Amino acid sequence: MSLSGRMRRSLVPIAVAAVLSGAWLCALASTGPVHRPVPGGVAWVDLAGIAELDSHVTFQGARLLLLPHGMDGRRGVWALLGIGLDIEPGDHHLEVWASPEAEAPTARVPVRVGPEDYPTQHIHIKERRKVHPEPKDMERIRGESAQMAAAFAHWRAAAPDVVDWKLPVLGPQSSAFGLRRVFNGVPRRPHSGIDWAAPAGTPVVAPTAGEVTLVGDFFFNGKTVIVDHGSGLISLYCHLQSVQVEPGMLLGPGDRLGTVGATGRATGPHLHFSVNLNGVRVNPALFFAPSSEADLP
């Protein structure tokens, strides 16, 4: 009987912890995002013997990116899980389904999310409307939010490359991921990306291959590009001065998509770069930082 057939017969109890350790994870993390199971982080979850590459695996209702083992010749599947900033630390689980239409999962895999404390950042914005939008602004903002939500919710059946990402811009980091932001004394949502300061006109490139799915000039984000890398892995580029791509264009690693600017809600020229994974924003730094044994739980 096949694995999928066995899983259809009964729910498979999984007693092992889903945070990985040892040589398998160390080898994997050295060639992909850092394993950091905290709010705003990512986690590599071992699904060997539980799921296959064509399985439907979800976390809190969102479909997950699945990748093959390949570091040690061992057959199996990894799930690369994005963990939202608003999740409560503690015990959670992935669900493995025989199909998207199945009434119940065939397996539940535990994932423990640890705590993370992000600092607060106070920012002064000169243009009052960028902090307190007027009614006409709110109508525009709602429409733009719907466009971006649709782009982030899109599932493109392609296997993304999560290895050796290129930096989207050259410049010093000016604002880290996860900061609890206060604009002109008013608390707002946490910072959901990384800001890199660079002179206006500095080239901005795609970190890895993908398809441009949205280009716009938005109230808060300014000139914006969204690139879909496949299977729920999506990147966002904001405050651009110029855009050199259009929806539907295919990009390779390092392909130019625009230039740094200060459009939208910005205090100066910089790139705001975000990464979405299974519908939530995660720390982009985890896709660029080298891993080591010290990164492992």
Region 40-55: mean pLDDT is: 92
Q: Please report the pLDDT score of residue 124 as a whole number.
A: 66
Q: Name residue 222's beta-bridge partners.
A: 218
Region 124-130: mean pLDDT is: 63
CB 247 within 8 A of CB 32: no
CB 291 within 8 A of CB 28: no
Q: Which amino acid is at 95?
A: E
**Residue that wins the pLDDT comparison between 30 and 240:** 240
Structure tokens at 227: 């690139």
Q: Please report the pLDDT score of residue 71 as a whole number.
A: 47
Q: Please report the pLDDT score of residue 117 as a whole number.
A: 80
Q: Which residues of 249-284 are buried (b: 16+ CB within 10 A; e: fewer)?
A: bebeeebebbbbbebbbbeebbbbbbbbbbbbbbbb
**At 73, is the pLDDT very low, low, confident or very high (cuts 50, 70, 90)?**
very low
Of 25-34, 113-122, 212-221, highest mean pLDDT: 212-221
Nearest in space to 272 (alpha carbons), one of 211, 209, 226: 226
Residues 6+ apart with CB under 8 A from 64: 57, 58, 79, 80, 81, 94, 232, 278
Strands 107-113 and 12-13: parallel
d(CA 231, CA 208) in angstroms, rounded, equals 14
Q: How many Cα atoms within 13 Å fall on the side-chain side of residue 279?
A: 13
pLDDT surpassing 80 at residue 257: yes
Q: Please report the pLDDT score of residue 191 as a whole number.
A: 74
Nearest in space to 232 (alpha carbons), one of 210, 254, 214: 210
Q: Please report the pLDDT score of residue 99 as a whole number.
A: 87
Q: Please report the pLDDT score of residue 291 as a whole number.
A: 46
CATH superfamily of 3-117: Peptidoglycan hydrolase domains (2.60.40.1590)
Write down the mean pLDDT value for the chain. 82
Q: Please report the pLDDT score of residue 256 as a whole number.
A: 98
Give me the DSSP letters along the chain. Answer: --HHHHHHHS-EE--S-SS--HHHHHHHHTTSS----STT-EEEEE-TTT--TT-EEEETTEE-EEEE--SSS---EEEEEE--TTPPSEEEEEEEESSTT-SS-SEEEEEEEPP--PPEEEE--S-GGGTS--HHHHHHHHHHHHHHHHHHH---------SSPPPSS-S-EEE-TT-EEEETTEE-PPP-SEEEE--TT-EEE-SS-EEEEEEEEETTTEEEEEEEEETTEEEEEEEEEEE---TT-EE-TT-EEEEEB--SS-SSSEEEEEEEETTEEE-GGGGTSPP-GGG--
Q: Please report the pLDDT score of residue 150 as a whole number.
A: 94
Q: Please report the pLDDT score of residue 75 as a whole number.
A: 64
d(CA 246, CA 232) in angstroms, rounded, equals 20
Domain boundaries in the chain? 3-117, 120-286
Structure tokens at 178: 């996860």
Region 291-297: mean pLDDT is: 38
**Residue that wins the pLDDT comparison between 95 and 27:** 95
pLDDT 10s digits, 6-38: 222 223 333 233 334 333 333 343 457 999 999
Nearest in space to 141 (alpha carbons), one of 211, 218, 78: 218
In the CATH hierarchy, which top-level class contains the domain 120-286? Answer: mainly beta
**At 292, is the pLDDT very low, low, confident or very high (cuts 50, 70, 90)?**
very low
Q: Please report the pLDDT score of residue 200 as a whole number.
A: 97
Length of the chain in terms of residues written: 297
